[in-house]
Amino acid sequence: MSNKFAVILAAGQGTRMKSQLYKVLHPVCGKPMVQHVVDEVTTLGLSEIVTIVGHGAEKVKDQLGQSVTYALQEEQLGTGHAVMQAATLLEGKEGTTLVLCGDTPLITKETMKALLELHEKEDAKVSILTARTTNPTGYGRIVRSEDGFVERIVEQKDATEEEQQIQEINTGTYCFDNIALFNALKKVTNENAQGEYYLPDVIEILQQAGENVVAYQTPIFEETLGVNDRVALAEAEKVMKQRINESWMKQGVTIIDPAATYIEKEVIIGQDTVLYPGTMIRGNSEIGSGCIIGPHSEILSSTIGDKTEVKQSVVRESHIGSGVAVGPFAHIRPESNIGNDVKVGNFVEIKKSNFGNGSKAPHLSYIGDAEIGDRVNLGCGSITVNYDGTNKHKTKVGDDAFVGCNSNLVAPVTVGKNAYIAAGSTVTDNVPDSALSIARSRQTNKEGYVQKIKEKKNNDK
Ligand code: UD1
Ligand code: MG
């Protein structure tokens, strides 16, 4: 097998995005565009992947890490100039070089493989991945001779009226004979509408030198979508979302309304889980089997066991066990660890707390910086008073404790195992195991008081 390399172009600013964020770092289904491209190409097992960085180089490097090598394009003088920057790493090496753009996040490894295979079979010097579309605006067009051979690629801004009618476009993905690529790049000039060194000009240079130029037209245009602005970004998101949703449906997940369900690329979901509309599952979340998620729930970088329900709720960077009922309208904030068979009901917020197996906070509670044992009942309106204005303090509630409604647990404080807290208490001192704590003023009933007041009023008239 000959050597195979890849060059990924990711140095452009992406002016048309009108953004502070560098174009290739814009996420599609939660993952930066360039990362999608790198992840797909990595599966091909090539000898080297070179990413061309420039605008936002450090940020792109932070994102991609050690998985690729880098070449810096200090000034963005065009896609041909960008590939030239890989010369120090690749020039003179025998082999095949796959060139990809960092702004085509939908391209799949299958299509890359098909292009590589055709390139080898045809013994070509360059194989271009093309696609047909009824709306080719913005793309380079494939100019073919009368007998159908590719002659050159013309950019939108350089195209004549007639050339603009061409519906076969350059997807920006190519396979080159590596030696021929770097030789031809030396001949590319910047005499065009944009004053840039275009990579597609290499095609005409090779064609005129009588080399074998091949085109592979993919039937799936959407896969080759180049994201240059936010309209295309939304388009890419839609296609990727559908792809992810269909993949999960094929693996046994029910999605009631795929158009209204958002699952990011790295998420894992178990069989027979049902996702209701308005659900977003993000980051590296892992959902077990037989769960019901949604309607209208957001789960970010969290793990959830089996047969758990999360309705109209937000869960972030936390773990929730199996057989748990969350919501409606609950908020599980980062670093929470919820056990099995728990109930977290409406208007309950849990933050950075452990919540033991079989425990319940059915309504209107704030539980922050707490250790809640097993089988604890937190009555409606139970609150951990965890913040003194400067520091956060811990609340501990032992197994089988029962906290009555509207209780304030003023931290730092410990409620012992099996203890009872009377409703309406403000607990400032530790409560021993199995004790009843009443921390409220006693009720006084003044018999006949109302009648007395009324009589007084009448007498004063
Ligand atoms: C490019 C192609 C066009 C093709 C389209 C497919 C050229 C001249 N045109 O156009 O034929 O139809 O892609 O999507 O190649 N980049 C650099 N350095 C530079 C310039 C660009 O690294 O100096 C990178 C960008 O970050 C981007 C990629 O190259 O990831 C493509 O550049 P972009 O400006 O998006 O080219 P298009 O106008 O889309
Ligand atoms: Mg582009």
Here the CATH number for the domain that contains residue 239 is 2.160.10.10
Closest alpha carbon to 401 in 378, 423, 426:
378
Atom of ligand 1 nearest to the CA of 198: 8
> Model confidence at 179, in pLDDT bands (50, 70, 90)?
very high
Which atom of ligand 1 lies at the shortest distance from residue 194's CA?
Answer: 8
Give the mean pLDDT of 405-424.
Answer: 98
- Report the nearest-CA residue for atom 25 of ligand 1: 12
Ligand nearest to the CA of 166: 1
Same domain (yes/no): 320, 360: yes
Q: Residue with the nearest Cα to atom 36 of ligand 1?
A: 79
Give the integer Cα–Cα distance in Å for 298 and 15: 32
Nearest CA to ligand 1 atom 26: 12
Compute the average pLDDT of residues 350-367.
98
Q: Give every CB contact of residue 135 below 8 A, 6+ residues apart in sequence.
A: none
pLDDT score of 317: 98
Domain shared by 143 and 211, yes or no: yes
Distance CA 110, CA 115 (A): 9
The pLDDT value recorded for residue 330 is 98
Task: Mark whether 332 and 213 lie in a shared domain.
Answer: no
Query: What average pLDDT does range 252-278 have in this prediction?
Result: 98
- Determine the pLDDT at residue 272: 98
Residues 50 and 84 grouped into a single domain: yes
Same domain, 174 and 310: no
pLDDT tens readout for residues 135-144: 999 999 999 9
Model pTM?
A: 0.92
Do 177 and 271 belong together in one domain?
A: no
Instruction: Say whether pLDDT at 1 is over 60.
Output: no
Domain with 405 in it: 230-437
Identify whether 101 is part of a domain: yes
Residues 299 and 248 in one domain: yes
Query: What number does the ligand 1 atom closest to the CA of 10 have?
Result: 26
Residue with tokens 């208007």: 347
Residues with CB under 6 A from ligand 1: 9-12, 23-24, 52, 73, 76-79, 81-82, 101-104, 139-140, 153, 155, 169-172, 198-200, 226, 228
Whether 23 and 168 map to the same domain: the answer is: yes
From ligand 2's centre to the CA of 174, what distance in Å?
14
Name the domain count of the chain: 2
Among 189, 224, 259, residue at a domain's last position: 224
Residue 453 belongs to a domain: no
Q: Are residues 182 and 238 in the same domain?
A: no
Check whether residue 183 and residue 137 sit in a common domain.
Answer: yes
pLDDT in tens, 31-66: 999 999 999 999 999 999 999 999 999 999 999 999
267 shares a domain with 177: no
Active site residues: 363
Cα 201–205–208 angle (5° rounding)? 135
- What whole-number distance in Å separates Cα of residue 64 and Cα of residue 135? 32
Residue 262 Cα to ligand 1 middle (Å): 29
Query: Are residues 202 and 105 located together in one domain of the fold?
Result: yes
